[in-house]
Amino acid sequence: MPSHAVLTTVADQPGMLHRVTEVLARHDANIQHIDIVHEPHREAEVYLEFASETPIDQIVHELQDVPGVMRVDIRQSFGKVYGKRIIIIGGGAQVGQVAMGAIIEADRHNIRGEHISVDTIPLVGEHELAAAVRAVVLLPRVKLLVLAGSLMGGEITKAVEDVRGKGMRVISLNMAGSVPDAADLVVTDPVQAGVMAVMAVADTAKFDIMRQQNRRY
Amino acid sequence: MPSHAVLTTVADQPGMLHRVTEVLARHDANIQHIDIVHEPHREAEVYLEFASETPIDQIVHELQDVPGVMRVDIRQSFGKVYGKRIIIIGGGAQVGQVAMGAIIEADRHNIRGEHISVDTIPLVGEHELAAAVRAVVLLPRVKLLVLAGSLMGGEITKAVEDVRGKGMRVISLNMAGSVPDAADLVVTDPVQAGVMAVMAVADTAKFDIMRQQNRRY
């Protein structure tokens, strides 16, 4: 089925999303991504990516007829722009080094047609880190998680086991605590950890993290 | 109105989102964020953040009664976990340096209760960069964009003007091309650019980018 991306500008009132998705349900469209953009001093917008057999002009036409919809624009899909995501979580010093390795390696692959973005959050505290790890499987397009710190265990380890159970791949820096034992792969040098993270998700690389299970570098 | 976050596990069939949002529309809930998580080998999930006067237990109960909904879990909101986002776009060498400054500065603010994450994409090409800049205003929770490169102009400059018109703040490295003239603030040192980007969005900092309009450092 052909994929499409549209941006609808809508009235700021309850039920708008329900009315917009009604049009897509009518055409058996498979919605792949949706974002609500609602910043102060801006009109509310709903961005949608979906696959449908119905010609896009027909769907745009029907969306324009929905009460409260002010404008409908066809857009380029996010997936094509921002692509696969790697998320790096941990302490600022290490997250910065892993990010550096990952960004420079992503650059080399993106030049050859990949679309890999590198997202980070520096955090402190077992509870906050565990929550961030668990949220990773709810974020769109995330392919791999890197844990970058000096000491991580307890709740964070449980969270790593949970997300690996859901199919997320995890690289851990070599560090104190039980998180390294729960990861797919352990790397000591943070720059190399970032590089390997990108190699593991790039179609333009030959690195298979599944063949590196429980290895330590 | 109290805010809530729920994760629904749903059957992989068209119209699910329409049926789930029907429950929220019935209670005049204001949907603030929504994500569809649909990875291979995993059940489909719809994550929703919304504000509603109706008690959350009542909404969860009604969601569980929707045909095709398999499970409903109350979650902690993304906004609380990943917070404000800074996006850095450009060439790998500079994006890495800006990210380093931003991540280490974000760490200092996150320790004091902020939630700032730093997201990056290394890209090459005028068209690709312009598309990434334009997409920034469609991504959730983005507060500031940093353009990190050595030469940017043309379509990228138009894209910067467009997103600034929508209220996005933009920092540019000092570089060749017309992008610096279109930015709120121009910074020569990439690490300092990253630090200033975080200071500009942190409530724990005193830096006001609106008072720095068209300054160059």
Per-residue pLDDT of chain A (217 residues; tens, 9 = 90+): 788 999 999 998 888 999 999 999 999 998 988 888 877 777 889 999 999 999 999 999 999 999 999 999 998 887 777 889 999 999 999 999 999 999 999 999 999 999 999 999 999 999 999 999 999 988 888 999 999 999 999 999 999 999 999 899 999 999 999 999 999 999 999 999 999 999 999 998 888 887 888 888 9
Average pLDDT of the segment spanning B198-217: 87
Identify which of B37, B76, B103 has the shortest CB distance to residue A137: B37
Identify which of A21, A104, A128 has the shortest CB distance to residue B93: A104
Average pLDDT of the segment spanning B207-214: 82
Instruction: Determine the distance in angstroms separating the CA of A149 from the nearest CA of chain B, rounded to an integer.
Output: 12
Interface of A with B in 76-115 (CB under 8 A): 76, 78, 81-83, 91-93, 95-97, 99-100, 103-104, 106-108, 110-111, 115
Residue B119 and residue A85: Cα distance in Å, rounded? 9
pLDDT for the residue numbered A14: 84
Assess contact for B217 and B183: CB atoms under 8 A. no
Which residue in chain A is spatially nearest to B127 when comparing CA positions?
A: A81
pLDDT tens digits, B97-154: 999 999 999 999 999 999 999 999 999 999 999 999 999 988 888 999 999 999 999 9
pLDDT surpasses 80 at B39: no
Residue B213 and residue B39: Cα distance in Å, rounded? 43
Residue B45 and residue B24: Cα distance in Å, rounded? 16
Contact residues on chain B for A36, CB-CB shorter than 8 A: 31-34, 140
Assess contact for B19 and B66: CB atoms under 8 A. yes
pLDDT tens digits, B8-30: 999 988 889 999 999 999 999 98
Contact A121 B118 (CB under 8 A): yes
How many CB pairs below 8 A link A and B?
198
β-pairing verdict for A3-10 and A44-51: antiparallel
ipTM: 0.87
Picking from A48, A52, A82, A139 by the largest number of B CB atoms within 10 A of its own CB, the best residue to mutate is: A82
Picking from A19, A38, A116, A138 by the largest number of B CB atoms within 10 A of its own CB, the best residue to mutate is: A138
Residue A20 and residue B122: Cα distance in Å, rounded? 34
pLDDT tens digits, B48-82: 999 999 999 999 999 999 999 999 999 888 777 78
Cβ–Cβ contact A66 with B under 8 A? no
Cβ–Cβ contact B42 with A under 8 A? yes
Residue A21 and residue A15: Cα distance in Å, rounded? 10
Contact residues on chain A for B38, CB-CB shorter than 8 A: 32
Could you tell me the pTM of the whole model? 0.88
Identify which of B78, B92, B110 has the shortest CB distance to residue A135: B78
Average pLDDT of the segment spanning B160-185: 96
Residue A19 and residue A24: Cα distance in Å, rounded? 9
Residue A87 and residue A170: Cα distance in Å, rounded? 10
- In three-state secondary structure terms, A147 is strand
- In three-state secondary structure terms, B194 is helix
Average pLDDT of the segment spanning B167-184: 96
Contact B18 A14 (CB under 8 A): no
B74 strand-pairing partners: B6
Residue A102 and residue A96: Cα distance in Å, rounded? 10
Residue B140 and residue A82: Cα distance in Å, rounded? 13
